[in-house]
Every structure is written in structure tokens, then in C-alpha cells.
Amino acid sequence: MKCEFIQYQLGAYTAGELPPESSLIIERHLRTCPDCQAWLEEVQELAQIWQQPDTEPQLDFPDMTADIMNEIRQMPPLYKRQASRMKPKDSRRMMIAHFGVAACIAFCLFQFGVFEHLQTGITHATEIFSSSVDHILKEGKR
């Protein structure tokens, strides 16, 4: 008998769910096959683990939940935190800085001709589309 079939049945054999004739066949095979004997030992070990009551493993991590929650409770409300971060003077400076960066990027794009290539591609696509529409309209009129 092939070992694959025996190994497939070992879980049911260990649980006592097989008919007696199937159990006898498996027992005969196990007497002569060391690989399947090793497989049976692993299945029995797993069965013991599954039968043990659920216990949470004891980890050595400190419980920091209370400390974190205390820190959160001591924080000021969100609207006060946001207001303190953004002062009117800073927001105006940031806006000017953003516009300056945008202007520099636009200048570089114009300098390298990105928009010219984009315009050529759009023009070409528009011409193809309009000629297709004209062709469809002419064919539809006939």
C-alpha cells in the first residue's frame, strides 16, 4: 500500500474514526514502514496539542495600555493642537513657499518642452477621433 494513502488516513486513524478493517491495514503497514511511523508520531503529538484546553501563552511583555491611555487623556483636544501648530503668519509663509515651488516646477516643465510634446499628442489624438467621427457620419448618411 502506498505511504501517501496511509499518511492521509493517519489523522482519522488516530482519532479512532476508521472502520476496523481499515485500521488493521494501517497497523500492518505501520509495522514495516519507518516513515509512516514517524508521521504517526507527529499526528499524535498534534492531536495532543489540539486536545489541550486553550491557554494563552505567557509572554513576558509589559502591559502598557494604562500608561498609553493616561498619555492620551492628558493630551489637549484636537482643535487646540491644530490651532497651535498653524499660526496665521506661518500659513501665509507656507502658501508663498508652495506657490514658489509650483512656479519652479512649471518653469522646468516649460523649459524641457513637456507641454509641447503633450500638445502634439493631444492634437494627433483629436485629429484621429474627428476623422473617425466624420467617417461614421458619412457612412451613416448613405
pLDDT digits (tens, 9 = 90+) for 47-86: 888 777 666 656 677 778 888 888 888 877 765 655 555 5
3-class DSSP state of 60:
coil
CA angle 70/75/80 to nearest 5° reads 165
Average pLDDT, the chain: 78
Percent of the chain residues past pLDDT 70, beyond the cut:
73
Residue 110 confidence (pLDDT) above 70 = yes
Per the structure block, which three cell numbers stand in for 108? Answer: 522646468
Q: What is the pLDDT of residue 55?
A: 62
Residue 142 confidence (pLDDT) above 50 = no
Query: Are 37 and 5 a contacting pair, CB within 8 Å?
Result: no
Identity of the amino acid at 18: L
Q: What is the pLDDT of residue 31?
A: 92
Residue reference for cell 524641457: 112
Classify residue 12 by burial, with Cβ atoms within 10 Å: 0-12, 13-18, 19+. Answer: middle
The model's pTM is 0.37
| Rounded Cα gap, residues 119 and 55, in angstroms | 68
